[in-house]
A and B are shown apart, each in its own frame.
Chain A
């Protein structure tokens, strides 16, 4: 009895701590307290579970704790910050796998009926499809798999019939749980659907996909709570599920697209547009010229994108930022919500490079400032700066909110070549009179500019 009270109170406290953890994440000043609350909550939940009467055999649990920590600690400390999206995808896969396997174990051991079976079927479906889906997302982000969408004729029909079949079998299993032979079929379909759902999605849509997988992984944990009659699981899973949902809505809005369009649109196939083939002229500049323009400016807004992460240019950009700031230039960073490969990706990279976070400005706040900005310097971003989104109704990104860099007095774009960006959409920004193309690797080019500004300062 006393043990039971202890267990229940530790679960209730854990739930409170998880809620506080998320509440404290609202500002950078309290966020680390949030992590601490989350850790305490988890500790309470684990200890509370270990002392339960039902748990008698500790050997395998502790081996698993040890093994999990041995993998988890290096994963947290050795992962470079540029690989955070991959790590996140991988951890969604682990979380979902855990949920699916527990559902499977419960099914074979107890063959539950009724409400428990409903919860269990949903838990296993979400768990397995999120597991393989997240592994595919990981493969794309790690560039083991091609980042371009993999599409074939009749893809939607295949995917939807697969899902439909899985749901039908799930329903049948709910009504007839004793048909154990169907369970592997059901699990297999869920695993396969996860793969097929993600392969047609392009790399640029990964922020939405990761957020959505985050939501599914949370919901799987919640349904495990339903199946095991454990409110703590229900609450923690619901918090994670709603977080993923909000983030994916934010991402969709930032691209002016719907969920269905992200999931089934296969965005990022090369758009071949007739008529756009005519040679247009653009101007380019050397690091020396670019540096002197930056040095003469009073205000500079730097627009980072995924290309900055790929080139690992964030530390060189910090040097440039410090140098220019010391020369009396006002330098800010404009962050588009979908820049990079996951929500908030750019903020983490720039924070890692030691750039104070009050210099990182969100799209809605910075857009009114571009008209008074001397230089907009774009580093590895493309579609989020494309003015065609505002003006060209035929453009695939028409209507997407963009950073209005074209309103700055001078625009400089660091880019490897004139080839179209990831989504394969031509960017008229590059052909504007006030635009200077800075060709080269972002890291190399920025460090060349740093040297030039240094020379000007001397």
Chain B
């Protein structure tokens, strides 16, 4: 395996973009922000699917992959749902009457 410098560039650029974008998020929304980014980082489900679903996977890979897909799915599902549940509560107008 050779050193993949392109991936390091991608990482650096994405990190700087992330820093700039997150700085603009109002502190009002820091909790939903954290649960959203947490759901996004459950993208590790991609790696987990690749390990679990490969042809003739060794038993160890299949077991660890299965746990990983489950754990990541929990994060995807609960992360997005609870973020939306929180954001629905933020309203500007006076409630009722």
Contact = CB atoms under 8 A, between A and B. Distances in A.
Interface in A371-417: none
Contacts, number: 385
Contact of B15 (A106, A232, A238, A357): A238
Interface of A is mostly: helix
A49 B49 contact: yes
Interface residues of A, number: 115
A148 interface: no
A31 B57 contact: no
A202 interface: no
Contact of A226 (B4, B29, B42, B43): B4
Given A64-B69, A75-B82, A95-B75, 17 more contacts: A22-B21, A35-B36, A38-B40, A42-B43, A61-B53, A68-B74, A69-B73, A72-B75, A218-B41, A233-B47, A235-B10, A236-B41, A241-B15, A245-B19, A343-B33, A345-B31, A356-B94
Given A109-B61, A233-B47, A22 B76 contact: no
A57 interface: yes
A397 to B, nearest CB: 20
Q: Which 7 A-B pairs have CB atoms at the shortest separation, nearest pair first?
A: A68-B73, A344-B30, A72-B77, A242-B18, A76-B81, A240-B41, A64-B69
Contacts of A172: none
B43 A236 contact: yes
A212 to B, nearest CB: 11
A95 B91 CA distance: 31
20 contacts: A19-B21, A21-B40, A28-B28, A32-B88, A46-B46, A49-B46, A52-B50, A55-B50, A57-B53, A60-B65, A60-B66, A64-B69, A101-B48, A210-B34, A236-B40, A238-B18, A240-B37, A348-B89, A352-B89, A354-B89
Contacts of B89: 81, 348, 351-352, 354
Contacts of A27: 26, 29
B55 A95 contact: no
Given A115-B2, A250-B27, A211 B45 contact: no
A225 to B, nearest CB: 7
Contact of B51 (A39, A106, A115): A106
Interface of B: 1-4, 7-8, 10-11, 14-19, 21-55, 57-58, 60-62, 64-95
Contacts of A250: 27, 30
A40 to B, nearest CB: 10
B86 to A, nearest CB: 5
B47 to A, nearest CB: 5
A26 B26 contact: yes
B27 A109 contact: no
Contacts of B27: 250, 335, 337, 343-344, 347, 362
Interface string A235-249: 111111111111100
A237 B92 contact: no
A308 to B, nearest CB: 15
A87 B82 contact: yes
